[in-house]
Amino acid sequence: MLKLTVPNHARQLVLFMVPDTRGDFSAISDAVRGRPGEFVRVTQDINKASLDRTRLNAFILGIRSQENTHPEYLRNVAPVLSSSLAVKLNPDCLAKVVEFQAACLLENRDSLVLGDIHSNSLTETIIGAPTDLALQLSATREGGYGFYSPYIGVVRDLARMFGAFNNPEFNYLPALGIQNGHSISLLLNSAPSFRKPKSVLVAALPAIEKNVPPPLRKSGDAPICATRPGAVFGVDGAPLVFATDYAHNMALRMTDKDGRVVEAPVVARADRGGYIFAPSFDPAGLKGAVAAQLHGFWGFDAFEGPEFAVQFPQDDGWQVAPGQRLQTGRKNNVLVSGPSMACVKSISVQLPDGRNLTPDWQMKGEQLSIDIPLSDLVAPGEVSIAIQPHGGGKPAVITIPAEAEGMP
């Protein structure tokens, strides 16, 4: 474990690892101090390449995990992983039989990584650096997001840049840092040498300057039912929230109509396209519509994310639209509104004669449109509509009188 004292106003942190052979280490410090700008540029490029490789690794892990568990769902999961991590997807692979889809998706790995503006801003990649990194860019309609930047020979080209600093004593060997929790694995392009010229491993650690928060955006405006199985708070715009631990201690701060605040821990899932509730989440009596905001930490700094419209089941407050009525001997349609429309799972109807029906229904704007067939109902009476929410709980019940056909 390294224990370091960071000088004031420091911005970049680079780790030089030298074989312990009692060599002349002053040559290394002289090289860095003599051309600090070049070293800063190179370390920024290493950081950018490391972040790109981290996204690619997360994509590969997601594909392999799905292949080993439920390969039949890969057709649905792969596009979500691709979008979350900004990794290129070959749609032709999904047309193949299930057994060959994963292998096809992972072909030509070096050309899968897509550009990410947030990674660029984190590493302050300057004009011209992508060329040195062999990142051949092809602009897309989104003006920045979606730049195609194949991960081709990055380490090779960085080594070429380091060539200017090599000497008979030392040879600089760039290493990509791949983060795994609290540790970093180094990815090398060639084996280090312990003989002259000795290899100096150069690893760029995450920048220590002011944080650049992720440009997270919610991926949809529709209300989200918190108790629906598999509820996802979709986000996009920052693949690193899925590929690294930079974003941590994330939670959804929910405020109900009475001002009560509940903090719900959430977990980033690239295969789901956003955040999901942690297993420890307890609704704690929340009901109806609540305002929610994603928040947590990005590195050491507090971070505020997008806001979401969230709903919990509520069994009261439901009503039929004004002017709605039921008549026997005909097919009826009623419009119903309530405080948790996103949480409706199913609807059942009980007729005055005791029969139970499962009506056709659909969302119509901010209302439920329910078809209630009363063609074979002769006697008028009370019709009960039971609205069952996701996640169980007490259904909302609305009672409407059915009048005899022909009544004004």
CB burial readout 205-228, b (16+ within 10 A) else e: bbbeeebbbbebebbeeebbbbbb
- pLDDT of res. 133: 31
Other CB atoms within 10 A of residue 356 CB = 10
Residue 69 confidence (pLDDT): 82
Kindly list the domain boundaries of the chain, sorted by start residue: 13-205, 217-312, 319-403
Does 135 have pLDDT greater than 60? no
- Residue 131 reports pLDDT greater than 60: no
Give the H or E element holding residue 184. strand 183-187
| % the chain with pLDDT above 70 | 83
* Distance between start and end Cα atoms, the chain: 84
For residue 324, give the 3-state DSSP assignment: coil
List pLDDT tens digits, range 343-382.
Answer: 999 999 998 888 898 999 999 888 999 999 888 876 788 9
For residues 249 and 297, is the Cβ–Cβ distance under 8 A? yes
Q: What is the pLDDT of residues 12-61, one digit of tens each?
A: 788 888 887 665 677 777 877 887 777 777 778 888 888 888 888 888 88
Question: Mean pLDDT across the chain, nearest whole number?
Answer: 80
Class of domain 319-403: mainly beta
Band the pLDDT of 292: cuts 50, 70, 90. Answer: very high
Report the pLDDT value the prediction gives residue 340, as an integer from 0 to 100: 93
Q: Which fold has domain 217-312?
A: Immunoglobulin-like (2.60.40)
Is the pLDDT higher at 62 or at 167? 62
Domains 217-312 and 319-403 are alike in CATH topology: yes
Write the pLDDT tens digit of every residue in 305-336: 999 999 999 999 999 998 888 888 889 999 99
Q: With 90 as the cut, is the pLDDT of residue 147 above it?
A: no
Q: Where residue 278 falls among pLDDT bands split at 50, 70, 90?
A: very high
Q: Which long-range contacts (CB under 8 A, 24 or more apart) does 74-83 make?
A: 74/98, 74/101, 74/102, 74/105, 75/101, 77/271, 78/105, 80/270, 80/271, 80/272, 80/273, 81/270, 81/271, 83/236, 83/273
pLDDT at 289 over 80: yes
pLDDT of 124 = 45
pLDDT of residue 38: 76
Given this model, what pLDDT does residue 305 score?
94
pLDDT at 362: 94
State the Cα torsion 124-126-132-135 to the nearest 10°. Answer: 70
The pLDDT of residue 288: 92
Distance CA 155, CA 235 (A): 32
Angle formed by the axes of helices 74-85 and 98-105, nearest 10°: 20
Higher pLDDT, 57 or 338: 338
Q: Check residue 153 and give its pLDDT.
A: 46
- Which token pair is 364? 């119509």
The whole-number pLDDT of residue 113 equals 58
